[in-house]
Structure 1
Amino acid sequence: MTKRRTRAPSPDPTALPRQDAIVWEQPFCWSFLCPRYWLVWFFVGILWLLAYLPHGVRRATAFALARLYQRVYPKRRRIVERNLEVCFPDQSAAQRRAWRDAHFQLQAYAVLDLGRLWFRSVAYLKRQTRVSDPDLFERLIHAGGVVLTGHGAGLEWIGHFFTMNMTGSAMYKPFGKNRLLNWLFERGRVRHGARVYPREQGLKPHLRHLRAGQGFFYIADEDLGLGDSVFAPLFGIEKATIPLAGKIAALGKAEIYPALGQLDMASGRYRLLLLPPVKIPTEGSTDAAEAINQALERLIRDDPPQYMWSLKLFKTATSDRADLYVS
């Protein structure tokens, strides 16, 4: 990875100091054209084609891929089933199976939609997106804030949508070991002006964006092991949670807006579910973790299949709990 420094226009009152305006960008390498990457380029071509084909084609392709994926990767299907079972024990088995199937269809469509995000115009992408609370969204755009989110089907899309409307930052995590995939995803994420920083850089650059009245796209549902995590319930199950959202907001002098991207399979359009700001304790405590998980749970319950249930949400277990994912 290389870093490039760019000078922010001085008349902009929200611009960061020059030494802080860092965009992380992996340069294009001619080695990306080697045969080892030809399969990746083939799929990029498929994504480009799908970006301009009708929604019905993408939907039919997503349904086929979802069925195939469940057959080829039964382990991932069982993770989804286990998560839904422990989080929604009061739902019928038939309802959970329907949610499972819808989950895989939504996730498959979202992958196919990388083409639209990478190749279609900003005007087009905005037309394909609606916001649950436009007034609240305007408030966030003008004042900035921490966007507290989780892994929904519309995560990539809504992340792009935020950067089309406001300046903000997000943490960057390399996408596997494939250098071309890293380049493609990074280029896609900074396409609309996002400031993307490697996780190793910590919170300092994001705090500076927040203090400048901008945004920080914060994914709060990852299980990163014990480390700095504390346990707090999510759907009644103790989950390892990083309790930093309140501290980030306090240091950045910003509010916290829970948000989740949702995909409408009937139309192929996306919805930004945006909730009013929440108060989260600033100390890294169980209370802070509980407030974070309560906000995430509210977002997820709005439309359960939208959430990425294929994650091992509860892989880090308390000492008195068995591994939920042992077959």
Structure 2
Amino acid sequence: MSRASASVGPPVFRRGLLAPRYWPTWLGIGLLYLLAIGGHPLRRGVARLGAGLYRRLNPRRAGIIATNLRLCFPHQTEATRAQWQTTYLERHLLALLDLGRIRRARRGELTRQTEVEGQAILDRLRVEPGVILTVHSVGLEWAAAMLAETVEGSTIYKPFADNPVVDWWFGGMRTRHGTEALPRERGMGPHLRALRSGRSFFYIADEDLGAEHSVFAPFFGVEKATLPLAGKLARASRRPVYPVIGQLDEVTGRYRLRFLEPVELPAGTDREAASAINRVIEELVLDDPAQLMWSLKYFKTTPPGEEDRYRD
């Protein structure tokens, strides 16, 4: 959703978005639409080439990926972690190249093109709304757009403050089927009201948003700043929590939504709730670790006395 608006529906197009300084962005968007009709082999070829360039041109971000995998999977061999990193980068870039497919898809098209593991759970979600708990996986945008075709709900949207064209384009993609995308500054009140009124809340639970309002809880054995929010929303709205992850098969180019059984998060301390959330995320990730967006700084906030985990 655009920065100026919090209403349902796509952001309003403004003539200022056509200013010359945004022409490179429009060129990139045009390329995404061309790739959308170019076929999966072409997109995968570009993604594989880009993954190799990424490691060489962005060693700092590649180091973040390696650090995350080492912290979460210390007992895996370096060769295994390196293969996961390579696979993740290819999938991530392929998912970015698929954004044009998502943006131009007609209602129902993504649903027909998506494999669902746990169809009975999705059927229940469509009639019994709840908190859709997910993570920053390579298939996140596809999963959100696919669910929006048949599940009414709201989500949190972080605007692209530096580029209003990207903000307009992504905002339109995320709201065109009726999803209410609100900036984080609006708080949780609108989403709680939506849950109580019979709509779902699409919540991405894995990001490290700093120490404020977070508690430290183990994530793959490492203390991580975690918001214990999902359980509070579920209890306040008396709605179930539906864990789901969007996955991408880089060989076929097909996406899969993998649902876990709805969970009841504990009503004890914030640490207990955060620990339960992280255990759910671990279960989503362990099925195929290279699906998670390991380029994020999941451990940037450290407990008092600990040094920066991403220090070179």
Q: Which TM-score bucket, shorter chain as reference?
A: over 0.9
Tell me how far apart the structure 2 counterparts of residues 83 and 161 of structure 1 sit (CA, whole Å).
29
Partner deviation per Cα, 1:90-128 (whole Å, 9 max, x = no partner): 111111100000110011011111100101223332222
Q: In the alignment, which of 142, 146, 151 is matched to residue 157 of structure 1?
A: 142
1:2 to 2:10 alignment: no
| Aligned match of 1:120 | 105
Tell me how far apart the structure 2 counterparts of residues 34 and 220 of structure 1 sit (CA, whole Å).
37
The answer to whether the 8 A contact 2:72-2:221 is kept is: yes
1:225 to 2:210 alignment: yes
Q: In the alignment, which of 193, 203, 221 is matched to residue 208 of structure 1?
A: 193
1:252 to 2:237 alignment: yes
Tell me how far apart the structure 2 counterparts of residues 284 and 147 of structure 1 sit (CA, whole Å).
22
Q: In the alignment, which of 129, 134, 137 is matched to residue 122 of structure 2?
A: 137
The answer to whether the 8 A contact 1:170-1:195 is kept is: yes
1:305 to 2:265 alignment: no
Q: What's the offset of the Cα at 1:279?
A: 1.5
Relative to structure 1, the CA distance from residue 63 to residue 113 in structure 2 (aligned partners, 3 Å threshold; closer, same or farther) is same
Q: What's the offset of the Cα at 1:25?
A: 5.0
Aligned with 1:109: secondary structure?
helix
Q: What's the offset of the Cα at 1:65?
A: 1.1
Flag structure 1 segments of 5+ consecutive residues without an equivalent: 5-21
Relative to structure 1, the CA distance from residue 187 to residue 283 in structure 2 (aligned partners, 3 Å threshold; closer, same or farther) is farther
User: What is the TM-score normalised by the length of structure 2?
Assistant: 0.96
The answer to whether the 8 A contact 2:156-2:183 is kept is: yes
Partner deviation per Cα, 1:22-59 (whole Å, 9 max, x = no partner): 42653211111111011011011111011112111111
| Aligned match of 1:10 | none
Q: What's the offset of the Cα at 1:284?
A: 5.6
1:29 to 2:34 alignment: no
How many residues of Structure 1 are paired with residues of Structure 2 in the alignment? Answer: 310
Partner deviation per Cα, 1:170-226 (whole Å, 9 max, x = no partner): 011112411111111101101222111111111111112211222100011111111
Relative to structure 1, the CA distance from residue 268 to residue 106 in structure 2 (aligned partners, 3 Å threshold; closer, same or farther) is same
1:265 to 2:267 alignment: no
Aligned with 1:3: secondary structure?
coil
Moved more, 167-176 or 108-117: 167-176
Tell me how far apart the structure 1 counterparts of residues 181 and 161 of structure 2 sit (CA, whole Å).
17
| Aligned match of 1:110 | 95
User: What is the TM-score normalised by the length of structure 1?
Assistant: 0.92
| Identical residues among aligned pairs (%) | 46
Tell me how far apart the structure 2 counterparts of residues 250 and 186 of structure 1 sit (CA, whole Å).
29
Tell me how far apart the structure 1 counterparts of residues 72 and 27 of structure 2 sit (CA, whole Å).
39
The answer to whether the 8 A contact 2:153-2:179 is kept is: yes
The answer to whether the 8 A contact 2:192-2:237 is kept is: yes
1:185 to 2:170 alignment: yes
The answer to whether the 8 A contact 1:3-1:24 is kept is: no
Partner deviation per Cα, 1:53-88 (whole Å, 9 max, x = no partner): 211111111111111111110000011011111111
Tell me how far apart the structure 1 counterparts of residues 107 and 139 of structure 2 sit (CA, whole Å).
16
| Aligned match of 2:307 | 322
Partner deviation per Cα, 1:116-173 (whole Å, 9 max, x = no partner): 0101223332222111110111001110110111100001110111111110110111
Moved more, 280-289 or 41-50: 280-289
| Aligned match of 2:276 | 291
The answer to whether the 8 A contact 1:207-1:252 is kept is: yes
- Structure with larger RCO (C-alpha < 8 A, sep 6+): 2
The answer to whether the 8 A contact 1:117-1:157 is kept is: yes
Flag structure 2 segments of 5+ consecutive residues without an equivalent: none
RMSD over equivalenced CA pairs, Å: 1.3
Alignment of 1:28-177 (within 5 A): 28-177=13-162
Q: What's the offset of the Cα at 1:322?
A: 2.0
